[in-house]
DNA sequence: TCGTCAATTTACCAATTGGTAAAAAAGCGA
DNA sequence: TCGCTTTTTTACCAATTGGTAAATTGACGA
């Protein structure tokens, strides 16, 4: 029922998605088209709300042709999620233990907000997945996200202990950064109703910088 | 294709959902059962991810029996959303113009966090709907949510102008309150992975009170 | 006890949808 | 140009799912 197809089991399952094997010119191009289309459709309708026909139409390919490139709907979704996780982790990874604590955290807020603005579809895809209880992402959260968060939380705790920022629960701090920045992407439909039309992001950037600066100032 | 059934068009469409007409004992009971079941299923899987069969099973009724009480899947969903909106607005409505500004806002944060804890399914139902672009809620956001937010935003602006709280963009403040509190319900799956098991809400309450207090202190 | 209306079940559809088989059409190196 | 592989299309399925028709059962006042 699953795992038909292309990749003979060369190495073990990498948890990653990319086949990591052969990729002809046209393969690369069409896989990308499909993933682009799938991002558009999945982020707008969720996993079950999206149909292969929609993705096919968006990608400009036929449905069977899409299934020539990917094992099935679920495989496409998982591939997208795995790719996304790396992009998503990056801004947090950039938080530098050697830097000035307050500025490092504020820069992180800034990067997250920039991502919400630049990649709202990715944000929504992720939000959809977590909202449904992370059915296809559980392991990834454990294996990739948790260690990174643990590490950065320890760093923030050190900074606080050294009196370089105000004492805070590092995990709740991180949650509040995620929540406030991603809100502008995930709840865009609501934000657009409530904000007097026109770029909300500049105002958001100012507001959030002010808020987290006050929060962390010793 | 739609709007078959029960209610002859007595008055105009109220935008609300409740038929506002006759309700026998058993009607009341079964409608409630169905809505309870639907909340469970819709909040866990989203609109398209939920099936009438699931709702029927959860409610302990047969599918055709469910369609005897509601016109269709969409009607159930809309009914739920409309009910929810009132519950959702309530904590903001309680913000008292006569009260002490900082305490009023902190109490609002507290109420929202309590709701996220007590009604996570409602929070997720709402989040799902907004994430998909509020396809069945657009009018409601305009007509009910926006006026209230406008009013409370004006109030906060007054408070700030009077120097009773620090100057802030009231709408971004409200967004950040929504985002941070609802995060614990909507992203529960993620929070549970990252927080050392055991009630996160007490810690969240402390953290958020501290954050917004610092944010608003003059 | 009966008759009537409300409530429920049984038996079905028709449309949608994820997926497959196999033939046709491109690509492309020699 | 030939022959072989990769890519794409055509033609289908089987399962799921929202919804309906009609028969059946239950509630209950007269």
Min Cα distance A192 → chain B (Å) is 10
3-state secondary structure of A195: coil
Q: What gap in Å lies between CA B14 and CA A162, rounded to an integer? A: 60
User: Residue B186: is its pLDDT beyond 60?
Assistant: yes
Between A127, A203, A217, which is nearest B172 by CB?
A203
Q: What gap in Å lies between CA B149 and CA B159, rounded to an integer? A: 15
pTM of the shown model: 0.90
Once rounded to an integer, what is the mean pLDDT over residues B173-178? 98
A181 in Cβ contact with A208 (< 8 Å):
yes
Phi, psi of A33 (to 5 degrees): -55, -45
Instruction: State the number of CA atoms in the 13 A half-sphere of B78 facing the CB.
Output: 18
What are the start and end residues of each CATH 1.10.357.10 domain in chain A? 80-216
Q: What gap in Å lies between CA A37 and CA A125, rounded to an integer? A: 13
Which residues of chain A are modeled with pLDDT < 50? 1-20
Q: What is the CATH number of domain B81-216?
A: 1.10.357.10
Q: Are the Cβ atoms of B186 and A215 closer than 8 angstroms?
A: no
Which of chain A's residues have a Cβ under 8 Å away from the Cβ of B187?
Answer: 127, 130-131, 175, 178-179
Three-state SS sequence of chain B: CCCCCCCCCCCCCCCCCCCCCCCCHHHHHHHHHHHHHHHHHHHHHHHHHCCHHHHHHHHCCCHHHHHHHCCCHHHHHHHHHHHHHHHHHHHHHCCCCCCCHHHHHHHHHHHHHHHHHHCHHHHHHHHHHHHCCCCCCHHHHHHHHHHHHHHHHHHHHHHHHCCCCCCCCHHHHHHHHHHHHHHHHHCHHHHHHHCCCCCCHHHHHHHHHHHHHHHHCC
Q: What gap in Å lies between CA B113 and CA A180, rounded to an integer? A: 15
pLDDT of residue A22: 57
Encoding tokens for residue B70?
A: 């509601």
Q: Are the Cβ atoms of A182 and B186 closer than 8 angstroms?
A: no
The set of strand C positions with any atom below 7 Å of a protein CB reads: 6-11, 16-22, 27-28
What are the start and end residues of each CATH 1.10.10.60 domain in chain B? 25-76
Where b means 16+ CB within 10 Å and e means fewer, A9-30 reads eeeeeeeebeeeeeeeeeeeeb
Burial class (CB in 10 A: 0-12, 13-18, 19+), A218: exposed
Query: Closest CA to C11 C1' — which residue?
Result: B64
Q: Which residue of A has its CA nearest to B169?
A: A207
Min Cα distance A8 → chain B (Å) is 33
The terminus-to-terminus CA distance of chain B in angstroms comes to 59
A106 in Cβ contact with A209 (< 8 Å):
yes
What are the start and end residues of each CATH 1.10.357.10 domain in chain B? 81-216
Min Cα distance B13 → chain A (Å) is 23
What sign has the CA pseudo-torsion A34, A35, A40, A46? positive
Encoding tokens for residue B101?
A: 């500004």
Q: What gap in Å lies between CA B123 and CA B81, rounded to an integer? A: 11
Q: Are the Cβ atoms of B48 and A45 closer than 8 angstroms?
A: yes
pLDDT digits (tens, 9 = 90+) for A13-63: 333 334 445 577 888 899 999 999 999 999 999 999 999 999 999 999 999
Which of chain A's residues have a Cβ under 8 Å away from the Cβ of B176?
Answer: 180, 183, 207-208, 211
B164 in Cβ contact with B218 (< 8 Å):
yes
Q: Are the Cβ atoms of A194 and B48 closer than 8 angstroms?
A: no
Min Cα distance B136 → chain A (Å) is 12
State the Cα angle at B94 between B93 and B98, rounded to 5°. 110
Q: Which residue of B has its CA nearest to A213?
A: B215
Between B49, B141, B190, which is nearest A49 by CB?
B49
B66 in Cβ contact with B59 (< 8 Å):
yes
Q: What gap in Å lies between CA B205 and CA B209, rounded to an integer? A: 6
Residue B17's pLDDT band (cuts 50, 70, 90): very low
Q: Are the Cβ atoms of A134 and B189 closer than 8 angstroms?
A: yes
Whole-number distance in Å between A20 CA and D6 C1': 19
Domain A80-216 listed as CATH 1.10.357.10 = yes
Encoding tokens for residue A25?
A: 């010119």
Phi, psi of B84 (to 5 degrees): -60, -40
Q: Which residue has the higher pLDDT, B132 or A22?
A: B132
User: Residue B4: is its pLDDT beyond 80?
Assistant: no
Q: What gap in Å lies between CA A119 and CA A40, rounded to an integer? A: 11
For residue A68, give the nucleotide whose C1' atom is nearest its CA. D7
User: Residue B22: is its pLDDT beyond 70?
Assistant: no
The rounded Cα B15 to chain-centroid distance in angstroms is 17
Q: Are the Cβ atoms of B172 and A47 closer than 8 angstroms?
A: no
Q: What gap in Å lies between CA A132 and CA A142, rounded to an integer? A: 17
Residue of A179, A213, A218 best to disrupt the B interface, most CBs of B under 10 A: A179
Weakest-pLDDT range from A17-21, B63-67, B144-148: A17-21
A145 in Cβ contact with A85 (< 8 Å):
yes
Residue B149's pLDDT band (cuts 50, 70, 90): very high
Whole-number distance in Å between B28 CA and C10 C1': 25
pLDDT of residue B135: 94
Domain A25-76 listed as CATH 1.10.10.60 = yes
> How are the residues of chain A apportioned to helix, strand and coil, as percentages rounded to the nearest 5?
70, 0, 30
pLDDT of residue B2: 32
């Amino acid at each position: 029922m699953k795992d038909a197809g292309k990749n003979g089991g060369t190495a073990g399952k990498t948890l990653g998605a990319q086949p990591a094997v052969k990729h002809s010119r046209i393969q690369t191009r069409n896989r990308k088209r499909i993933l682009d289309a799938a991002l558009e459709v999945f982020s707008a309708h969720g996993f079950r709300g999206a149909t292969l026909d929609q993705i096919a139409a968006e990608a400009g390919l036929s449905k069977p042709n899409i299934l020539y490139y990917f094992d099935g709907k679920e495989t496409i979704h998982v591939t997208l999620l795995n790719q996304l996780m790396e992009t998503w982790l990056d801004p947090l990874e950039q938080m530098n233990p050697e830097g000035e604590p307050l500025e490092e955290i504020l820069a992180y807020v800034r990067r997250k907000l920039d991502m919400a603005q630049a990649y709202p579809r990715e944000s929504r895809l992720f939000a959809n997945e977590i909202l449904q209880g992370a059915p296809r992402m559980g392991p990834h959260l454990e294996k990739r996200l948790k260690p990174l968060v643990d590490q950065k939380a320890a760093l923030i705790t050190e900074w606080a202990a050294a009196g370089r920022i105000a004492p805070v629960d590092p995990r709740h701090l991180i949650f509040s950064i995620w929540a406030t920045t991603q809100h502008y992407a995930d709840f865009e439909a609501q934000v657009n109703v409530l904000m007097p039309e026109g770029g909300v992001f500049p105002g958001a950037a100012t507001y959030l910088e002010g808020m987290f600066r006050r929060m962390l100032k010793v």
